[in-house]
Amino acid sequence: MKITVLDDYQGVVARLGAVRLLDGLPVSLEIRSERITDEAGLIEALRDTACLVLIRERSHIGARVIEALPQLRLIVQTGRLAGCIDLEACRRRGVEVRAGGGNPIAPTELTWALILAASRRLLPYARQLERGRWQRSTERVEDERLGRVVHGRALGIWALGKIGSRVAAIGRAFGMEVLVHGRAQSRAAAEAAGYAFIADRREFLARVDVLSLHLRLGPDTRHLITAADLAAMRPDALLVNTSRAELLAPGALLAALDRGHPGAAAVDVFESEPEGVAAYLGHPRILCTPHLGFVDQDTYEAYFSEAFGHVRSFLGGAEAEA
């Protein structure tokens, strides 16, 4: 029985300890690193696959693909189930779908890595140092500007859930004033933690020095944040998004940055990844990272231990039925 893992961009899955969970099973494991962007290519690559393991939402498995794979019996989504699998097509074909859980630790740490790197202008300084310029972050001295500390500044958390709460606690430890915006759950969590909750969106955006987005993507949050909203932010404010790119209206962030409100952004998520990053690369006020929120050794081990555990239990159940 063939198990296929798609979109292992870095070629690391085969070296994970989690792979040992497949020991003793009558299976062959194929791990594909290249990105397959068209349905015909996916159908060809998965033709003999019985168990498909997806790394988050990197590939979309639609009805046409599912209908064209008669041997497919199981799809496992690492992390929480997302909208990249046509569940109705799976039900029609009798393909079982299983998913894993989330991990707030890695995205929390990446959020803070981005906040600190952008606030202190670490990448521009490092790039200029490689070019022989000491304590410079720009080529022309006329364009030079200093980084700044986060202590004493206002950290805005939009949605105080599992990740937002961790980001907020670290901000408090840095000596920041934590301001929260969101729904009733965020208000209750903010009051319990002793943070200020600001119900008015524009007032919230106008008061923060650093804004960190932690909303879940859904019909009511897709394109929720507009360029007009971002225009309420101060010209020295920083926006950080490690959540979902689609929380912002198309083009809203680039338009807002070009108008100078906010003054900078650090972004780990993009529309139509990876191709969608192209519009942001090279922008002088954006720090871009390639969706690293869950890409670390510990999270991969946890994700694939759960995923291959699902495969093992599924095959055990299938053998029992046989």
Known catalytic residues are 244, 273, 291
Omega of the bond leading into 290 within 30 degrees of 0 (cis): no
Angstrom distance (rounded) from CA 157 to CA 178 = 7
